[in-house]
């Protein structure tokens, strides 16, 4: 969906198709073992190639990064099971979700010529800081979670993402607030981050005159006192509170909103769609609505089963998208495309069914198919509510 438009449904993946996609991805695509990068017994090609994960594994948003890393890792492990004589390594770059740390990590990554590509960066702020370095060096990235629309407008040839940006998620959230929640007054707040502010600005634009008040919180997840925001929200008369930010702040914020007497519905987006939000908010999280351009696990049951077997937990936000992103690079390796320029050309023409959608990119690196879902916190769990069309 374009800004202000109507989202079209794309997740019409039947179980047989998903199973087939998983089977193909597990063996690196349809190219066959003869085309795999390999050492002795594999055509003399290098067998010590790597795929990178770039995102937070520690810090206030670590849960989201771990979800993504696990999805990419599952794809690599499945590939290695089918290519035991020529394995690929997943190398992690822990950004802590900090845009100040990201450039140094990116500089480190581009010196490793065994890296075929990066799954990430995970967040919009660190993407803005690191992607110019990746593009200058020619190292390809496929983000499974960075949603700021402006990232695709920089002319970066190596930038790609497998999910819809906030120019689709923002209008979808506003549509849900207007059409489903029937709100007449909405209070909008954000955490001033590249992601949070960008998303909230889009939501405010689409809500128009329904916005009854605004405020901002700290961006680092370490704010503890939200009393000023609570007071403003209550005074606005709003029946819906929209927050653009991450789960650490959101958990504390919604708890204080409810404790302070705000009785409306709390709505946030993909940065809050994590069990860490429920842990931080407790019972106050019940009934919260969380939007996300990510696939509900039950829409890709074969992937969900494999993920749970590997990690003893259900796949979470962007695990499946990261799996799809990693498999693009694994398919490039299987096709013998290991030079960074060759990988760029390979991605340009990539067109294959993944577990979340058909993976194909336009000339700006955006996905050809987009969908946004609303999730709801119910009985202490984040469950799908509906696709926002």
Domain, as residue range, for 133 = 15-165+296-360
Q: Taking the mean position of all CA atoms in its chain, how far away is CA 381?
A: 19
The domain that contains 195 carries what CATH number?
3.40.50.2300
74 & 158 share domain: yes
26 & 51 share domain: yes
Residue 366 inside a domain? The answer is no
Per-residue pLDDT at 222: 80
Helix (DSSP H) and strand (DSSP E) numbers for the chain? 12, 14
301 & 155 share domain: yes
Dist CA 189 CA 150 (whole Å): 20
Domain count, the chain: 2
To the nearest 10°, report the CA torsion of 338, 339, 345, 346.
0
What kind and span of H or E run contains 302? Answer: helix 301-311
Residue 368 inside a domain? The answer is no
Per-residue pLDDT at 308: 97
23 & 157 share domain: yes
Residue 131 inside a domain? The answer is yes
Q: Taking the mean position of all CA atoms in its chain, how far away is CA 124?
A: 10
- Residue carrying structure tokens 């790597």: 50
283 & 184 share domain: yes
244 & 267 share domain: yes
Residue 5 inside a domain? The answer is no
Dist CA 66 CA 116 (whole Å): 21
Half-sphere exposure of 197 (CA within 13 A, CB side): 11
- Answer yes or no: are the C-beta atoms of 269 and 291 closer than 8 Å: yes
- Answer yes or no: are the C-beta atoms of 146 and 121 closer than 8 Å: yes
Residue 145 inside a domain? The answer is yes
Non-local CB neighbours of 206 within 8 Å, separated by 6+ positions: 3, 4, 170, 171, 174, 175
178 & 190 share domain: yes
Residue 383 inside a domain? The answer is no
pLDDT tens per residue, the chain (389 residues)? Answer: 333 333 333 333 333 334 444 443 433 333 333 333 333 333 445 578 999 999 999 999 999 999 999 999 999 999 999 999 999 999 999 999 999 999 999 999 999 999 999 999 999 999 999 999 999 999 999 999 999 999 999 999 999 999 999 999 999 999 999 999 999 999 999 999 999 999 999 999 999 999 999 999 998 778 999 999 999 999 999 999 999 999 999 999 999 999 999 999 999 999 999 999 999 999 999 999 999 999 998 999 999 999 999 999 999 999 999 999 999 999 999 999 999 999 999 999 999 999 999 999 999 999 999 999 999 999 999 999 999 99
Per-residue pLDDT at 220: 74
Q: Which domain-ending residue is among 248, 269, 292?
A: 292
Per-residue pLDDT at 143: 98
158 & 186 share domain: no
């Amino acid at each position: 969906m374009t800004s202000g438009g109507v989202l079209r449904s794309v997740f019409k993946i039947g179980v047989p198709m998903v199973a087939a996609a998983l089977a193909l991805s597990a063996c690196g695509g349809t190219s066959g073992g003869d085309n795999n990068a390999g050492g002795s017994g594999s055509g003399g090609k290098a067998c010590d190639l790597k795929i990178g994960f770039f995102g937070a594994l520690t810090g206030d948003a670590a849960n989201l990064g771990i979800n993504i890393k696990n999805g990419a890792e599952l794809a690599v492990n499945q590939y290695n099971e089918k290519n035991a004589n020529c394995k690929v390594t997943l190398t992690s770059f822990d950004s802590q979700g900090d845009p100040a740390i990201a450039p140094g990590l990116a500089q480190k990554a581009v010196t490793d010529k065994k890296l075929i590509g990066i799954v990430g960066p995970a967040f919009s702020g660190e993407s803005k800081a690191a992607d110019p370095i990746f593009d200058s060096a020619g190292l390809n990235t496929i983000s499974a979670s960075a949603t700021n629309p402006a990232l695709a407008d920089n002319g970066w040839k190596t930038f790609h993402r497998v999910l819809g940006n906030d120019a689709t998620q923002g209008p979808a959230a506003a549509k849900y607030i207007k059409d489903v929640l029937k709100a007449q007054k909405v209070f909008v707040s954000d955490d001033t981050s590249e992601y949070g502010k960008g998303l909230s600005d889009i939501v405010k634009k689409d809500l128009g005159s329904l916005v009854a008040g605004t405020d901002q919180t700290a961006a680092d997840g370490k704010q503890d006192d939200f009393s000023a925001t609570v007071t403003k929200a209550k005074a606005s008369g709003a029946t819906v509170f929209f927050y653009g930010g991450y789960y650490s702040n959101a958990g504390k914020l919604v708890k204080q909103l409810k404790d302070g007497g705000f009785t409306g519905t709390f709505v946030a987006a993909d940065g809050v769609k994590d069990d860490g939000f429920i842990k931080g908010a407790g019972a106050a999280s019940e009934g919260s609505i969380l939007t996300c351009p990510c696939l509900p696990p039950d829409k890709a049951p074969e992937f969900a089963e494999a993920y749970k077997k590997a990690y003893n937990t259900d796949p979470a936000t962007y695990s499946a998208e990261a799996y799809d992103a990693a498999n693009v690079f694994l398919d490039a390796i299987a096709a013998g495309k290991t030079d960074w320029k060759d990988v760029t050309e390979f991605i340009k023409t990539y067109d294959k069914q993944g577990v979340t959608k058909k993976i194909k990119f336009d000339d700006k690196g955006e996905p050809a198919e987009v969908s946004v879902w609303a999730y709801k916190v119910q009985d202490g769990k984040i469950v799908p509510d509906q696709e926002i069309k």
